[in-house]
Chain A
Amino acid sequence: MSARPVAIVGVGQTHHKSRRLDVSFGGLVREAVFRALDDAQMTMADIDAVVLGKAPDLFEGVMKPELYLSDALGAVGKPMFRVHTAGSVGGTTGIVAASHIQAGKHRRVLAVAFEKQSEGNAQFALGSGKGGSLGAGGAFAPFIRAYIHRSRAPEHIGWKVAVKDRLNALKNPYAHLKIADISIEKVKASPMMWEPIRFLESCPSSDGACAVVLTDEAGGNEAAAAGRPPAWILGTSSRSEPPSFPGRDPVRPAAAIQCSDDIYAQAGITDPRRQIDTAELYVPFSWHEAIWLEAHGLADEGDGWKLIDDGTTALDGSLPINPSGGVLSSNPIGASGLLRFAEAANQVRGAAGEHQVDGAKVAIAQAYGANSQYFSMWAVASSLQPFD
């Protein structure tokens, strides 16, 4: 990978809610941007380039919103870039922002992702306005059914993840869902949405934004010297595979496996289960946690559900997954991937507050999109050589 290190020195996000009726589009993204800039002790004038990520424009009915948001993001006179890779877009935003620095072209880049989907309707947009939309979970229910069969996982695994992530969210001041009385019984009693996925096993629809300030090595060292330790990127990767062909396995997609293999190779991770302290994985429906644990080598094939069942992935376990509460607790679709990347960075910066995983030094983040076809991941650590 490139010789040029990239550091994350600022993270900001909005308070994610089902409807942010108090702000305009510009107001929503600026809330996250100013929090990130303040965290980085910078102003807009310090930023060289802006990368914006967002899910389909049909969600809000504003085409190419980077045009309208150029001045809101302080991008006048600067490069402004708009990526769109379905659900993984937030992750791709972080990766492309890092690429701006790794190429040596820019020194300080602002990555921003948002969704104000309450202005539209997510089911409508996902179906392009046609009747009988499958909805977000509709595409994945068959994959989950296949996973449960292959792994012989007991039915309560999904419920356990749903509870774990919402309990974590109670410790995340920005999370959307705050279900203080979340419990297995409550999840089990919630309405079936896409068999076997129940309502409380599903992600919410949120308005929200996330912003990350990335810098070059000098910027990272500056932040460290000022007592604000950065997160260092050890590796980034994106992989895509086609939506449909005979023999495709969407439960254990090749693109997912190759994406994590790639970041592990870049990062020098040879034993993911032991060397990774925590992970933020894109889990919009509870069972995805088991699926991704396996696809990304954190559990052997067929055993992902066991790490959930025995508490390994809980906040006080040996490999906490989604300590922030994850997509199950906050889901502004375009931003959700960047939130994973940002939360992973915060963990190794020791900046995750009440949902901090003690002593986290190495973390990974993953976002996926479409029919489990697009994968974006990064590995971050508290130093460039965490395994020495």
Chain B
Amino acid sequence: MTRFVDSTITFPYRRSLGPVVGAFMTALTERRILGVRHGDAVLVPPMEWDPATGAELAADLVEVGPAGAVDSWTWVPTPSEQHPLDHAFAFAFIRLDGATTPLLHAVDAGSSAAMSVGMRVAPRWKGTRVGRIDDLACFVPGEDAETDGEDTGPAAEPVERMDYLASITYRNPVPASNDRIVEVSHEHRLIGLRCPTCARVYASGNGYCPIDAIPLGPECETDLPNTGTITNFVVVTPTPYPGQTETEPFARVFVLLDDTDVVITYSPVVDLAARDVRVGVRVRAVWIDDEDDGATGGLFGAWGSFAGWRPTGEPDVDNPDLVNRIF
């Protein structure tokens, strides 16, 4: 039975708009729509460059619309969370009066039967506008623009930035080899997979040998000791970002497992302050049985019950060359 892990990547991007897009967005807050003159044509939306050649366009901005005609349309019966409306609507190419090229936007027509090529539409403005394309809530059939709710007026300053919240959730299957690592962790064990061709032992749970590029199945399993020596380490001073979980400097260590050639990389330490981490410390694996408290790491997050390494109390191993055992 394959396990799946959901992971959501969310970030509030903040974009700078440049002079042309900035002017367009500022105008939206004023309930105006701008295009850019290009010879006899008026391009909407306005661009800094000629789409055909890449040549710089003079920012000769001109007002278009606000009403226009539908050039083409499609019906969206079940909107996504990113769409401008939360009920069925049309996406349409809308050629605003005075524009040569159409603007893509939503039309709140009520039903697909109400949509037709050539029909007239006009903006429905949001009452509060910030300088984004969705200051236009959508377009509505007819000639007359409308405003949704109380109009709080144009932006006080020219708009130069734009927010864009990107959030995507991925549902990844956990490969059996990763799950096996988690499974044996509940038994407080570490295992590796020994490659039958090159004899290297891998403890990462990837389930293959990257040297010989062959899969390694359960028949390759070998037990690994729970004790070892810290060979190298990093102490990270955390920086804030959306999704950050750390606030204090934290350590990640490399541990060479006793009597093996296997290094467990980038693991947390327990009962050992970051400033006390050093090459040569003797350690033992720490297990906790609440999976939510497990160590972070890897694409799939927690390594089951494995929480990190705790000093055994033995004297340090006096071998400075251990620092070379990173992998």
Contacts and interface: CB of A to CB of B under 8 A. Distances in A.
* A touches B (Cβ under 8 A): yes
A135 B239 contact: yes
Interface in A11-45: 19-24, 26-27, 30, 34, 44-45
A125 to B, nearest CB: 8
B235 interface: yes
Contact of B17 (A24, A127, A129, A243): A24
Contact of A121 (B17, B241, B252): B241
B111 interface: no
A30 B19 CA distance: 14
Q: How large is the interface on B (under 10, 10 to 19, 20 to 34, 35 or more residues)?
A: 35 or more
A285 to B, nearest CB: 12
A205 B96 CA distance: 41
B323 A146 contact: yes
A150 B52 CA distance: 57
Nearest to B170: A128
A76 B210 CA distance: 41
Interface in B259-308: 261-263, 265-266, 279, 296, 301
Nearest to B236: A138
B324 A149 contact: yes
Interface in B55-109: 55-56
Contact of B261 (A71, A123, A247): A247
A121 B10 CA distance: 12
Interface stretch (A191-199, A214-222, A287-295, A335-343): A191-199
B16 interface: yes
Nearest to B250: A132
A245 B326 CA distance: 10
Given A26-B49, A124-B243, A244-B204, A131 B16 contact: no
A30 B236 contact: no
B163 to A, nearest CB: 10
B244 A133 contact: yes
Contacts of B245: 131-132
Interface string A128-145: 111111110011011101
A73 B18 contact: no
Interface in A116-169: 118-121, 123-125, 127-135, 138-139, 141-143, 145-146, 149-150
B246 A131 contact: yes
Contact of A72 (B54, B164, B201, B234): B54
A118 B14 CA distance: 8
B11 A247 contact: no
B16 A250 contact: no
A125 B11 CA distance: 9
B241 A24 contact: no
Contacts of A123: 239, 241, 244
A30 B49 contact: yes
**Interface range on chain A: under 10, 10 to 19, 20 to 34, or 35 or more?**
35 or more
A61 interface: yes
- The B interface, classified by DSSP as helix, strand, loop or mixed, is mixed
B125 interface: no
A71 B51 contact: yes
Interface string A89-126: 00000000000000000000000000000111101110
Contact of A131 (B21, B47, B243, B321): B243
Contacts of A125: 11
Contacts, number: 177
A254 interface: no
B4 interface: no
A359 interface: no
A256 interface: no
Nearest to B201: A246
A247 B10 contact: no
A262 B47 CA distance: 45
Contacts of A243: 210
A251 B17 CA distance: 42
A177 interface: no
Given A23-B16, A149-B321, A129 B11 contact: yes
B51 A21 contact: no
A24 B9 contact: no
Contact of B18 (A22, A120, A248, A249): A22
A203 B51 CA distance: 36
A242 interface: yes
Nearest to A128: B9
B16 A247 contact: no
Interface string A66-98: 000001111110000000000000000000000
Contacts of B2: none
B315 interface: no
A23 B50 CA distance: 17
Given A30-B56, A124-B242, 7 more contacts: A24-B16, A71-B52, A72-B48, A73-B54, A123-B241, A132-B250, A247-B200
22 contacts: A22-B16, A58-B11, A61-B166, A71-B47, A74-B55, A119-B15, A128-B7, A129-B7, A129-B11, A130-B7, A130-B243, A130-B301, A134-B266, A135-B239, A138-B234, A142-B326, A145-B233, A146-B324, A244-B327, A245-B327, A246-B201, A246-B262
